[in-house]
Amino acid sequence: MIEFTDTEFMICTAARLLEDRKTVFVGWGMPQLVAMLAERLYTPSLVQIFEFGAIGPQSLIPFVRGTMGGPSNVYRSLQWSNMNWAFAYAGTGYVDYGMIGAAQIDTFGNVNSTLLGGTYERPARRFPGSGGGNEVASLCWRTILVMKHEPRRFVERLDFMTSPGYLDGPGGREKVGLPRGTGPWRVVTSKALFGFEEETKRLTLLGVLKGLSVPEVLDGMEFRPLATDLVEEIAPPADEELRVLREQIDPSGIVIRGEKMRAAR
Amino acid sequence: MIEFTDTEFMICTAARLLEDRKTVFVGWGMPQLVAMLAERLYTPSLVQIFEFGAIGPQSLIPFVRGTMGGPSNVYRSLQWSNMNWAFAYAGTGYVDYGMIGAAQIDTFGNVNSTLLGGTYERPARRFPGSGGGNEVASLCWRTILVMKHEPRRFVERLDFMTSPGYLDGPGGREKVGLPRGTGPWRVVTSKALFGFEEETKRLTLLGVLKGLSVPEVLDGMEFRPLATDLVEEIAPPADEELRVLREQIDPSGIVIRGEKMRAAR
Amino acid sequence: METILQGTAEIRFTHPDAFREWVREHKRREMVEKLMTEGEAVSRCVADGDYIAYDFSSLTRGPQALVREIIRQRRRDLWICAEFTLHESALLVGGGCASRIDVGFLGYGNYIGRAVSDGRVRVFDWTNGALASRMLAGARGVPFMPVRTLLGTDTLRHSGARVVHDPFTGDPVCLVPALNPDVFLVHVHQADVFGNARIFGTNLFALEAATAARKVILAAEEIVDPLEFRKDPARTTIPYFLVDAVVHLPFGAYPGGVQARYELDLEHIDKVNAIQSEEQMQAYLAEFIYGVQDHADFLNRKVGWHRLQDLARRATIREGYH
Amino acid sequence: METILQGTAEIRFTHPDAFREWVREHKRREMVEKLMTEGEAVSRCVADGDYIAYDFSSLTRGPQALVREIIRQRRRDLWICAEFTLHESALLVGGGCASRIDVGFLGYGNYIGRAVSDGRVRVFDWTNGALASRMLAGARGVPFMPVRTLLGTDTLRHSGARVVHDPFTGDPVCLVPALNPDVFLVHVHQADVFGNARIFGTNLFALEAATAARKVILAAEEIVDPLEFRKDPARTTIPYFLVDAVVHLPFGAYPGGVQARYELDLEHIDKVNAIQSEEQMQAYLAEFIYGVQDHADFLNRKVGWHRLQDLARRATIREGYH
């Protein structure tokens, strides 16, 4: 058996998705660790772009908590720029991947990171809102959503649509004027990996953590994701991934702490 | 008697108009010399702004021909920027004065620097066009036009309106969406100085070179400028002005050469 | 220009002509000394009801000392632009200073979330990119900027943006209105007494906001000779004519860090982030803001020389910051 | 979006989506060596019918060697963006390469003026600022940029701009369409083999045009170690992923100068400016462009070591260019 946290599983799964020699728009916190891990193990020539203007840094490890824009985060960038330029690169199609978090998603990969319950004026719970998430989801070619796996987060109708997925389905993005050919590509959760079916643009289960069954993963969701005939088994974090994460990237366990999980090797 | 060229007279007259501790948008060639002369004799704290992004240079003299953007031109700037920023400063109202040339002007101070005669497709004579002139005339608070004094250049109807004066008269600029409160302020020619009447926004003779009569100056113009009761006598270039111009700023006579003129001291 | 869709948010919008006229009358082209204390700067430049923006992040090069001074002077009814903000929004709401927030990123923590839920502060949702674009429009003297974001979302419906048909392609495009803040607060590495300033590292929209704002308060780690700027004009981030007040505030980003000067103080940041209840908030404000006279007093009595030196010593990455 | 007024010019306009797709398919995110000769660069990147833009001025840091190579390779039917251009437009028209010109500033001299009058080249009038704004729109991936210039003039009527009512103020505002050149030529002080580049001094729209263009050819005075860029990221003007070809071309701006490297050669510039007749033009092209193999051959046989050293020696102002 191997032991790990839900966060570690999400980080490792997301890191394996990235493609080498491509650009990725990196958000705050967990996405930073995904990029660091990928850079070290899988995609040494990944070019990271941050909304605050760091283009292509080789961020130092260990990860310094709260260092969005600090010296270790932007270390040895190719260019130090600003927000309007970072989003200009994304706007003109130079950014292949984007990674953002979510509080809720729906079947078309639309994202809520603004509020839960109540009214807009008096929400039951208020979150930070879009940040740069809406830009990432609008402008990068392929968006990767990362979300803790809780069935109640998969909803029929979002409490608030912060960032666009496929909106109301195929052609929805183009109809409202979003850049053609973009959209959510993968959803990484702490139990599974989803994609979107080409035709319907609906959430599709691609894989589950080794040892979990499909019903276990889908149970309790408000909508039922499509499933491919062959749902893959996702390997748990490998020893090497965990070693790099725990020893080199986040030795104080600031980000990688979370709910304990285990799986057979 | 004092001897000078028409260009020297224009440069000296324009230099006397500038206000110290203000910003001025400086165009290529003659306006550069105006700013240099003003900086040395009248307005030591004038802040020059160039469309190619030099903000507040202390340009070296002698003037190097063709050095728009070269090291002596942009020497000891406060900021090296680019065109979009130079015009952003003008667009938000930070630039007090602008100086541009003209091939023709009309009674409302509209400017032609594009073509003469023929059709648009096949002009009899084709000039460089707007350059940044349209921006300067649109965005700076007060525009100073500099033009060789030839009666045929003062026309009823421009062959082409390159840059906006008061368009068709009072309120004309505001009606088309140009920034409120801007417009041509003075016209410096090789014989006279004009302004614009507050009410009608029409060209008004303010002064003539000492020794010239008003009819001599206005003779042959297609329209008759208004004249104030007291048309001033404009002093010819002073010895000190000519000395600085000829010895320090343009010793090779590249810009200041021109038609010979003379006037009583 | 037919509006297909219009967001519901109240917006603080200034006609570009009105902004230009404000610049003409109030912004000095003269190179005059603008050095003053943070008390004077806030008292002169920040009024009740103002719209306030700031650069960069809470944790790096944020104008924390200036924010504390605003709270200390008990400004009221401020409308703040929360871009990359974490605890500043919470402190400004806790101090009773802010009543409206344009949200890029609202900031973490239960305190600010609860303040929204309780209706103690009104929020209008935008995005980080939309706010940066609005600032760019404000800096270019044009009424709006077109963007291809926000489209299709509730964020758009609750923002103050509009959707129109672009006349060149016929497709829908989103227009975000220009933003011209009343006050822009920025903490920089170096400034001269006139307000020329250098920021090292990246920034959000330092020059855009400085150009777009009615009043700019510059807090600087270091005051340098004006000639320094003329000798290396490519390094000038903000030219003097945009600036109204220069305040010499070493460690002015504390508890955040400033690149190549000092690291952030995570212990103090955790203290702020841990604030949940009104009681905790008021206790924090009483001790660290109301209870001190000014920034120097704060550093001296509430942080201390040893801690400051330790934070400075930890800032070992200097490469590129010059 | 109701158009109140629309200019008559033909425009080269690319739908932002089509540009994005071009970028996705053709711009390499990979850091690959892009060093090649000017001959290869032009042959790979410049096709007949292309729209070409360049930075900076004819007299300072202009991509003169690249322009000469385009003429030498006898490209046809080019549409050029004449911003700050002086003799490049004339030479490109004289060489039979350019058939259309978007005018900011057309360039001095009788030759180019006569070519327009004779109908040998079509011009469309814009302004320097409008072209810079169009480039910014192209670089932001949006279809247009609003400006408060052009309004009320014949320049507007003969441009490809449109006037609409701004929905925020109700006032008329001018919209200039995004410009996405097929090729952007830029001469820089320093580049690495991947295309990261530094320009010292000011620029027109180097980063805007590099981001907006389908293909970017970079000519560099000097090739430096890639690590140099990472050690001082604030100095990077253009990041590598925008760039398609890197050409090492010392004295590539000749007869113009490059700041802190060499002064302009006024004698040669006068020779170009003096061209009036077709005969003079063809004689110049034959001697200085068709008659040499490449830039090195041109420098060696037509300029000579002594002259080059003299121009370099005169570049004594170094302050700020580092």
A80 at the D interface (CB within 8 A)? yes
pLDDT at C1: 66
Q: In this structure, which topology does domain D3-313 adopt according to CATH?
A: Glutaconate Coenzyme A-transferase (3.40.1080)
D287 at the A interface (CB within 8 A)? no
Closest C-chain CA to B59: C230
CB contact under 8 A, A88 and D139: yes
Across the interface, of B78, B179, B181, the residue whose CB is closest to C233 is B78
pLDDT at D290: 98
Please give the helix or strand (H or E) that residue A173 lies within, else none.
Answer: helix A172-176
Say which residues have a Cβ less than 8 Å from residue A251's Cβ, sequence separation at least 6.
A62
Residue C261's pLDDT band (boundaries 50, 70, 90)?
very high
To the nearest whole angstrom, how far is the Cα of B79 from the nearest Cα of chain C?
4
Closest A-chain CA to C148: A178
Chain A neighbors of C315, CB-CB under 8 A: 71
**Cα separation of the two ends of chain D:** 47
Q: At what angle do helices B83-91 and D128-140 cross, to 10 degrees?
A: 110
Cα angle: B145, vertex B149, B155; to 5 degrees = 75
CB contact under 8 A, C239 and B79: yes
* Alpha carbons within 13 A on the beta-carbon side of C300: 8
To the nearest whole number, what is the mean pLDDT of chain A? 96
CA D291 to chain centre: 24
Q: What is the pLDDT of residues B65-109, one digit of tens each?
A: 777 899 999 999 999 999 999 999 999 999 999 999 999 999 999
Q: Give the residue-averaged pLDDT of D288-296.
A: 98
Q: What is the pLDDT of residues C281-308, one digit of tens each?
A: 999 999 999 999 999 999 999 999 999 9
Across the interface, of D142, D147, D168, the residue whose CB is closest to C148 is D142
Closest D-chain CA to C199: D234
CA D265 to chain centre: 20
Do A118 and C117 contact (CB within 8 A), yes or no?
yes
Catalytic entry in A3, A8, A19, A51: A51
Closest B-chain CA to C23: B93
Residue A52's pLDDT band (boundaries 50, 70, 90)?
very high
Q: What is the pLDDT of residues D21-72, one digit of tens each?
A: 999 999 999 999 999 999 999 999 999 999 999 999 889 999 999 999 999 9
Give the SS3 label for residue C163. Answer: strand
Q: Give the residue-averaged pLDDT of C189-206.
A: 98
List of chains touching B (3+ CB pairs within 8 A): C, D
Across the interface, of C114, C201, C269, the residue whose CB is closest to A69 is C201
pLDDT at A230: 84
With 90 as the cut, is the pLDDT of residue D230 above it? yes
Chain C neighbors of D143, CB-CB under 8 A: 146, 166, 168-169, 171, 173
Across the interface, of C59, C103, C205, the residue whose CB is closest to A68 is C59
How many Cβ contacts (< 8 angstroms) between chains A and D?
Answer: 90
List of chains touching C (3+ CB pairs within 8 A): A, B, D
Query: Of residues A42 and B67, which shows the higher confidence score?
Result: A42
Residue tagged 């030529």 (tokens): D185
A171 at the D interface (CB within 8 A)? no
Percent of all residues in chain A with a pLDDT value above 70, rounded to a whole number? 100
CB contact under 8 A, A91 and D29: no
* Alpha carbons within 13 A on the beta-carbon side of B164: 31
Q: What is the pLDDT of residues D236-276, one digit of tens each?
A: 999 999 999 999 999 999 999 999 999 999 999 999 999 99
Closest C-chain CA to D161: C168
pLDDT at A227: 87
Closest D-chain CA to C162: D167
The radius of gyration of chain C from alpha carbons, rounded to an integer in Å, stands at 20
Catalytic entry in B51, B135, B150, B216: B51
Across the interface, of C145, C146, C233, the residue whose CB is closest to D320 is C233
CB contact under 8 A, A78 and D239: yes
CB-based touch B/C (3+ pairs, under 8 A) = yes
Say which residues have a Cβ less than 8 Å from residue D312's Cβ, sequence separation at least 6.
D261, D262
Do B14 and B34 contact (CB within 8 A), yes or no?
yes
Q: Give the residue-averaged pLDDT of C49-55.
A: 97
CB contact under 8 A, B92 and C139: yes
Do C111 and C276 contact (CB within 8 A), yes or no?
yes
In terms of residues, how long is chain A?
Answer: 265
Do D83 and D206 contact (CB within 8 A), yes or no?
no
List of chains touching A (3+ CB pairs within 8 A): C, D
Across the interface, of B45, B79, B141, the residue whose CB is closest to C233 is B79
pLDDT at A64: 83
Among the listed residues C236, C179, C240, the one whose alpha carbon sits nearest the alpha carbon of residue C213: C179
Among the listed residues A181, A171, A175, A178, the one whose alpha carbon sits nearest the alpha carbon of residue A135: A178
With the C-alpha atoms ordered D52, D57, D59, D60, is the resulting torsion angle positive or negative?
negative
- Written as one letter, the residue type at A238 is A
Across the interface, of D1, D147, D231, the residue whose CB is closest to C1 is D1
Across the interface, of B58, B78, B180, the residue whose CB is closest to C236 is B78
D130 at the B interface (CB within 8 A)? yes
CB contact under 8 A, B76 and C231: yes
C211 at the B interface (CB within 8 A)? yes
Q: What domains can be seen in chain B, in order of their start residue?
A: 2-256 (3.40.1080.10)
In a mutational test of the C interface, the residue from D17, D20, D169 whose CB has the highest number of chain C CBs within 10 Å is: D169
Residue ranges, chain B, pLDDT below 50: none
With 70 as the cut, is the pLDDT of residue D1 above it? no
Expressed in percent and rounded to 5, the helix, strand and coil fractions of chain A are 25, 30, 50
Respond yes or no: is residue B135 known to be catalytic: no
Among the listed residues A75, A53, A70, the one whose alpha carbon sits nearest the alpha carbon of residue C257: A70
CB contact under 8 A, A179 and D16: yes
Check residue A235 and report its DSSP letter. P
Chain B neighbors of C24, CB-CB under 8 A: 93, 96, 141, 181
Show me where the domains of chain C are located. 3-313
Chain C neighbors of A161, CB-CB under 8 A: 152-155
Q: How far apart are CA C77 and CA C100, in angstroms?
A: 7
With 80 as the cut, is the pLDDT of residue C109 above it? no
Do C88 and C56 contact (CB within 8 A), yes or no?
no
Closest D-chain CA to C13: D168
CB contact under 8 A, C164 and D232: no
To the nearest whole angstrom, how far is the Cα of C132 from the nearest Cα of chain D?
12
CB-based touch B/D (3+ pairs, under 8 A) = yes
CB within 8 Å of chain D, chain A residues 7-36:
21-23
List of chains touching D (3+ CB pairs within 8 A): A, B, C
According to the 3-state scheme, what is the secondary structure of D16-54? Answer: HHHHHHHHHHHCCCCCCCCECCHHHHHHHHCCCCCEEEE
Do D178 and D212 contact (CB within 8 A), yes or no?
yes
Residue tagged 């990029």 (tokens): A35
CB contact under 8 A, D29 and A139: no
To the nearest whole angstrom, how far is the Cα of D222 from the nearest Cα of chain B?
19
B72 at the D interface (CB within 8 A)? yes
CB contact under 8 A, C143 and D144: no
CB contact under 8 A, C149 and A138: yes
Six-digit token pair at B60? 């070296």
Q: What is the pLDDT of residues A94-147, one digit of tens each?
A: 999 999 999 999 999 999 999 999 999 999 999 999 999 999 999 999 999 999
CB contact under 8 A, C234 and D231: no
With 70 as the cut, is the pLDDT of residue C47 above it? yes
Q: What is the pLDDT of residues A218-241, one digit of tens each?
A: 998 999 999 877 899 999 999 999
Give the SS3 label for residue C223. Answer: strand
CB contact under 8 A, C2 and D3: no
Q: What is the pLDDT of residues A147-196, one digit of tens each?
A: 999 999 999 999 999 999 999 999 999 999 999 999 999 999 999 999 99
B134 at the D interface (CB within 8 A)? yes
Residues paired with B50 in a beta bridge: B26
